[in-house]
Structure 1
Amino acid sequence: MKGPDRSDLPREEATLLAESWSHLAGTGAEARAVGEELLDRWSEEHRRYHTLSHLWSALCAVEVLREEAHDVDAVRYAVWFHDAVYEGRPGQDEDESAALAERLLSLMGQDPERIAEVVRLVGVTKDHRPGPRDADGAVLSDADLSTLAAGPEEYLAYTGAVRAEYRHVPDEAFRAGRLGVLRSLLEAPNIFHTPFGRTHWEPRARSNMLAEIDHLSRGGTEAPPPP
């Protein structure tokens, strides 16, 4: 069966993703097959934000935070798998992504302890609230949420893409759900859990999210104007 079309991904980015997977997982037949499956999943037509671009962005953020991780390769694997199943079903998508990670990493012959850690890390992305001593969970969570600290135009594109993924949801229901997510993140002591994230990403993320909350509270749905 022919996989999803990845022709719209910039060639350089597609090449870098393939190289990133090969460097992480090796070049054996099983690893190559799993890499292709993951790239196909991240290329599904219904995705608008949880795409190959988000995957690459999160992997790049992990590299920024790598010195703060305990097992950075486990974090990298968790990035590849954390939204491998994405149907817009909070909680269920993460559970199915974790199950996929367990199955495919087992087929690749990964160490059981590494597999268990990747499965656990994928679960952390349900609420992005790792424990205080969970270094790998902190790095994964911060990498996944790093888009929240984007510049005005990138944040605008992000919120528009999120709305497009939930285009089947009526405006009022989307607005209520999105406000709930944003307020939950802002109610926590910190959005980011690594020292780097709290220092360099937290202020901008809070500014972006507060602007979006204001926009949504006024009846907007697509995206807030750049702050």
Structure 2
Amino acid sequence: MTLQDRWHDLARALGVSEAKAAAVWQRLSGAYSEPHRHYHTLTHIDAVIRDLDRLKPGFVAPDEAALALFFHDVVYDPARSDNEDRSAEYLRDTLPEVDTIHAQSMIRATRHHRHDADADTNLLLDIDMAILAADWPDYLAYARGVYREYLPVYGHDAYAAGRVALFLEPTLARTHLFLTDAFAAGENAARENLNREIALWRDGGFAAHSNGAITPAP
């Protein structure tokens, strides 16, 4: 099943008309295909929806979680810090005929990826962070993609410092990187990937390990 087909199945389950679902899909696919995106694309959405479908029995409200995942990065501006709130508002305004309160809450939770009282939110957050435990080539492709998204805004040096100090080290300092048993097996792999990325930044090798795809800003 394609991601577009999966969206239409979800829309039908939520009572959204076929015409409205088609129009919303055009908006979603357009947003996730913006030229400044290199990781937060339809490929990412396809990956998280596939994980949700695989783990569907673990959700209390899987359709609400799927809705949140389809919209969780729909607004993505690397120069702003309120993308999650804006994405939640985008969902609210796009589907006013659907009760999106829970989905909006899950989207907002992706800003910090902290333990939540809602079990569905915790599982959704782990799905969004599953890339941390991927095989190293896939993890490195993710890290390169995020770098390319932020590079035009901050430049190489500022991004490198921020990536290590504001994301990699604080993430490693957590007692548990994943919030649910479904992802606990990936803990060690995720920590190894994060440490390997830190080493690349510290020895100046990150761009070199990007296969020439990235030219650091002057």
TM-score over 0.5 (shorter chain): yes
Distance 1:65 1:119 in 2: 20
Identity of aligned residues (%): 33
Per-residue CA deviations over 1:5-35 (Å, capped at 9, x if unaligned) read xxxxxxxxxx611111011012521122112
Q: TM-score, normalised by structure 1?
A: 0.84
Please state how far the C-alpha of 1:63 moved relative to its aligned partner: 2.0
Alignment coverage as a number of residue pairs: 204
Equivalent residue for 1:6?
none
Equivalent residue for 2:8?
22
Runs of 4+ with >4 A deviation: none
2:171 is matched by which residue type in structure 1?
L
Equivalent residue for 1:5?
none
Please state how far the C-alpha of 1:91 moved relative to its aligned partner: 3.2
Tell me: CA distance 1:94–1:25, structure 2 relative to 1, closer, same or farther (3 Å): same
- Structure 2 residue matching 1:167: 3-state secondary structure: helix
Equivalent residue for 2:118?
134
- Structure 1 residue matching 2:151: 3-state secondary structure: coil
2:156 is equivalent to residue 171 of structure 1: yes
Selected match of 1:71 from 61, 69, 89 = 61
Correspondence list, 1:46-195, <5 A = 46-89=36-79, 91-106=81-96, 109-110=97-98, 112=99, 115-131=100-116, 133-168=117-152, 169-179=154-164, 180-195=166-181
Structure 1: 5+ residue runs without aligned partners? 1-14
Per-residue CA deviations over 1:32-90 (Å, capped at 9, x if unaligned) read 21121111111111111101111111111212322222211111111111100011145
Per-residue CA deviations over 1:108-150 (Å, capped at 9, x if unaligned) read x21x3xx10011010010011132x321111211111111111
Per-residue CA deviations over 1:130-174 (Å, capped at 9, x if unaligned) read 32x321111211111111111121112111111111121222211
CA contact (8 A) 1:70 1:136 kept: yes
CA contact (8 A) 1:78 1:118 kept: yes
Structure 2: 5+ residue runs without aligned partners? 211-218
Taking only aligned residues, the RMSD between alpha carbons, in angstroms, comes to 1.7
